[in-house]
Amino acid sequence: MTQFDYDLFVIGAGSAGVRASRMIADEGKKVAIAESRYLGGTCVNVGCVPKKLFVYASELAQTPHEAEGYGIELSLKDFNWQTLRDNKTNEIQRLNGIYQRLLDNSGVETHLGHAKLIDPHTVQVNDKHYTADKILLATGSWPTHPDIPGKEFFISSNEFFFMEQFPKKALVVGSGYISVEFAGILNGLGCKTFISSRSGKLLRGFDESTRQFAENEILKKGISLIKTPPKEINKTQDGYSVTFNDGSSEEVDLVIGAAGRSPNLQNLGIESLNIQLDDSGYIKVNEQYQTSTPSIFAMGDLIDTPQLTPVALAEAMTFLKQQFKGEPKVLDYSNIPTAVFSQPNLATVGLTEEEALDQGFDILRFESDFKALKLTMTDSTERTYMKLVVDKDTDKVLGAHMVGEHAAEIIQGIAIAIKAGATKAIFDETLGIHPSSAEEFVTMRTPS
Ligand SMILES: Cc1cc2nc3c(=O)[nH]c(=O)nc-3n(C[C@H](O)[C@H](O)[C@H](O)COP(=O)(O)OP(=O)(O)OC[C@H]3O[C@@H](n4cnc5c(N)ncnc54)[C@H](O)[C@@H]3O)c2cc1C
């Protein structure tokens, strides 16, 4: 090496940036990373991890109901939001420390501060300039709110994790997975919760019958769906008055905007370089994550691929192989499993029925809808749904979808079978684990 300070300079120490920097440093390369807020990025600090901890809290709050049918009397005495919030923050701070150690142990130099591109090989952090042979942009995404009067009253997912008070009545605007998960957390912990959905539906884009089933179950838990977007938010003495497009209104003490996110390009300096964006505002890259400036690369939530941590990690590993190990293989984006940590969970892998039909497959659909054994002695009306989409010609299982307890855990296993190209015959030959909900995936015999 060369005239540069580093082989690689990474901007953003989130899922993609941390993985790429430490793996590439482990190959003996000289690597630096800049981070302006928190090590670990969105997922660790204001995303997947704290969200799942809050989901566990809201599920625990349901335990007394279920215990009753088993002859166990539990009572929910109190819910202390400050304890939950602060214990979560302590746990996240522990993880921040682990991320710093991972970077240090790999020999990655960490520069804390906002980083900006100066030229194709130079980055500025805190008034200092650093040069690198390659620069990787991994600055993630940022919440956006509908442009309506009173939009300054929205809090975003970022602030949700640090609220001073737990609300009594809240509105979540948006109907994607973040919105549905936040509504589940609020509702489960005793807050009267509304979701406002422009389309009037929850979780659009997931397999339609699975989505419908999930929506029904989610609303059964007490969340109210407002089938129109907000038009205006006004501050009142006690909270906010939200008027909707259909003229209706609702008084709440918190309005959470969870309707969208956009690539985080703020003051990154891309304007002065030839870095092109696509029509949706994501950074345009080729299959090597290379931008239109050849020494600069981008990945994770900055580019138009599924906005999920495992995808960002896989992109980082592919970048390592392509650029530093001479392995040109590109990342396969098919069959990415994903979950919505709603109550109950929705999880999915492979093609939806609609996608399979669009792609010209002649399909068979296998479905099962049942009450989980655990709930049979309780007064819960929650039901579980499972669905397989199978190619009639090859017998290959194209997609698996589930709504129910532990759906994420179950679908992760099914994803391996689908990735391996398993046929329905192989599912049928697989013995079940009895009694379990998961065994339904290998006992569905009759197409619906
Ligand atoms: C509420 C919520 C829940 C989620 N739940 C899940 C889930 O359950 N499962 C899942 O797979 N995914 C989930 N995600 C998505 C997941 O968090 C993202 O896909 C993932 O974090 C993207 O990784 P990234 O590396 O691209 O960006 P990030 O993890 O966002 O990291 C970007 C980093 O760059 C830093 N940065 C930005 N600009 C600069 C700059 N100029 N200089 C220096 N540093 C900078 C930021 O501070 C940040 O730390 C969730 C997201 C949200 C918001």
Atom of ligand 1 nearest to the CA of 113: 43
Is pLDDT above 60 for 1? no
Predicted confidence at residue 221, as pLDDT, reads 96
Distance from residue 58's CA to the centre of ligand 1 (Å):
24
DSSP state of 247: S
Q: How confident is the model at residue 272 (pLDDT cuts 50, 70, 90)?
A: confident
Ligand 1, atom 27, lies closest to the CA of 140
Q: Is 34 a pocket residue for ligand 1 (Cβ < 6 Å)? A: yes
Distance from residue 307's CA to the centre of ligand 1 (Å):
9
Distance from residue 14's CA to the centre of ligand 1 (Å):
6
Is pLDDT above 70 for 437? yes
Predicted confidence at residue 65, as pLDDT, reads 87
| Choice between 212 and 77, residue whose per-residue pLDDT is larger | 212
Q: Is 343 a pocket residue for ligand 1 (Cβ < 6 Å)? A: no
Predicted confidence at residue 2, as pLDDT, reads 65
Distance from residue 409's CA to the centre of ligand 1 (Å):
23
Q: What is the mean pLDDT of the chain?
A: 97
Ligand 1, atom 10, lies closest to the CA of 308
Q: Is 45 a pocket residue for ligand 1 (Cβ < 6 Å)? A: no
Predicted confidence at residue 395, as pLDDT, reads 98
CA atoms within 13 A on the CB side of 331: 24
Q: Is 44 a pocket residue for ligand 1 (Cβ < 6 Å)? A: no
Atom of ligand 1 nearest to the CA of 160: 1
Q: How confident is the model at residue 346 (pLDDT cuts 50, 70, 90)?
A: very high
Residue 70, burial from CB neighbour count under 10 angstroms (0-12, 13-18, 19+) = exposed
How would you label 194-212 residue by residue, b for 16+ Cβ within 10 Å and e otherwise? bbbbbeeebbeebbebbbb
Mean pLDDT of 217-230: 98
Predicted confidence at residue 38, as pLDDT, reads 96
- Angle ∠(402,405,410) on CA atoms, nearest 5: 55
Mean pLDDT of 92-114: 98
Q: Is 158 a pocket residue for ligand 1 (Cβ < 6 Å)? A: no
Q: Which amino acid is at 211?
A: R
Is pLDDT above 80 for 441? yes
Distance from residue 140's CA to the centre of ligand 1 (Å):
5
Ligand 1, atom 7, lies closest to the CA of 48
CA atoms within 13 A on the CB side of 134: 22
Mutation to probe ligand 1, out of 35, 54, 139 (largest number of atoms < 8 A from CB): 139
From the list 346, 404, 359, the residue with the least C-alpha distance to 180 is: 346
Percentage of the chain lying above the pLDDT 70 cut: 100
Model confidence pLDDT, tens digit, residues 174-207: 999 999 999 999 999 999 999 999 999 999 999 9
Mean pLDDT of 242-248: 97
Q: Are 120 and 3 a contacting pair, CB within 8 Å?
A: no
Mean pLDDT of 328-336: 96
**Kind of pairing between the strands at 260-263 and 141-144:** antiparallel
CB atoms within 10 A of CB 153: 17
- Describe the strand order of the beta sheet including 224-226 as a list of residue ranges: 224-226, 192-196, 169-173, 254-257
Sign (positive/negative) of CA torsion 233, 236, 240, 244? negative
Is pLDDT above 90 for 56? yes
